[in-house]
Amino acid sequence: MEATAPCAQPAKAIKPIDHKSVHQICSGQVVLNLGTAVKELVENSVDAGATNIDLKLKEYGADLIEVSDNGCGVEEENFEGLTLKYYTSKIQDFSDLMHVGTFGFRGEALSSLCALSDVTIFTCHKSAKVGTRLVFDHNGKITQKTPYPRQQGTTVSVQQLFYTLPVRHKEFQRNIKKEYAKMVQILQAYCIISTGVRINCTNQVGQGKKHSVVCTTGSCSLKENIGAIFGQKQVILTVGKGEKAAARIC
């Protein structure tokens, strides 16, 4: 007897991916890892004119990433567009890119974080009498809006990063310490270049004490920022090498 040929699978029709899935997939290309998430939030704070930025991590950032600042805060009229994709106050059209003076301008970061995690924002603009607590769904739409006492500035709370993408979330949790180490390197770079901005980051594991990750004083000197991150000995070594190199050039 001749062997029966296996039944060919019927060709699947080409159809558009549903909007929710598209948003999640594309968001995963904006926020690639823990370092990207922290970078985007710190840049938002710097762009808001903050001079104090506090980061709180729980379980190395796997459970919680919270970034608080004393920047300008968000006006109520901008609440609705705050976490919508391609909504931004930085530019209005492509030609504005020639003169953009901020880190952010695409209007993608907060929208992507909403798609990948649970986002809550606490903000108070200088014109407001009281702050506001905003809870967002995965599409960046406000689901809760309540008064919240706080000083001028903004706090962005990101819980369970990547949990809307189960496979990626599992991989993220499995490699969290590697992700954390890379994030610290990125944060250190921002601590050095952000002169005049005090940046403090802590991490808490379980019910243990909060441990300092990085802490700067808000100095206007790059040298002092390097010293705050790596120690004065490293500053001496770095400056010494620079002076020797300059002498050779002369």
What single-letter amino acid sits at 103? F
**What is the rounded CA–CA span in Å between residue 49 and residue 32?**
26
**What is the rounded CA–CA span in Å between residue 142 and residue 83?**
9
Per-block mean pLDDT, blocks of 10 residues, the chain (250 long)? 57 64 55 93 93 97 98 92 69 55 64 94 94 96 95 97 94 96 95 94 94 92 87 66 44
This prediction's pTM:
0.80
Other beta carbons within 10 angstroms of residue 55's beta carbon come to 23
**What is the rounded CA–CA span in Å between residue 111 and residue 27?**
8
Other beta carbons within 10 angstroms of residue 231's beta carbon come to 11
List all residues 6 or more positions away from 13 whose beta carbon is below 8 Å from its beta carbon: none
Element holding 120 (H helix, E strand): strand 118-124
Element holding 66 (H helix, E strand): strand 64-69
What single-letter amino acid sits at 171? E
Hey, where are the domains in the chain?
19-218, 223-250
Residues in a beta bridge with 79: none
Query: In the prediction, which pLDDT does 83 show?
Result: 85
Instruction: Please check whether residue 100 is in contact with residue 91, taking contact to mean a CB–CB distance below 8 angstroms.
Output: yes
What CA–CA distances, in Å, run from 79 to 36, 83, 119? 23, 8, 14
Structure tokens given for 52: 């104090």
**What is the rounded CA–CA span in Å between residue 203 and residue 212?**
7
Query: In the prediction, which pLDDT does 18 show?
Result: 64
SS3 95: helix
Phi and psi, residue 227, nearest 5°? -65, -40
CATH number of 19-218: 3.30.565.10
**What is the rounded CA–CA span in Å between residue 49 and residue 58?**
26
Query: In the prediction, which pLDDT does 72 show?
Result: 92
**What is the rounded CA–CA span in Å between residue 117 and residue 158?**
6
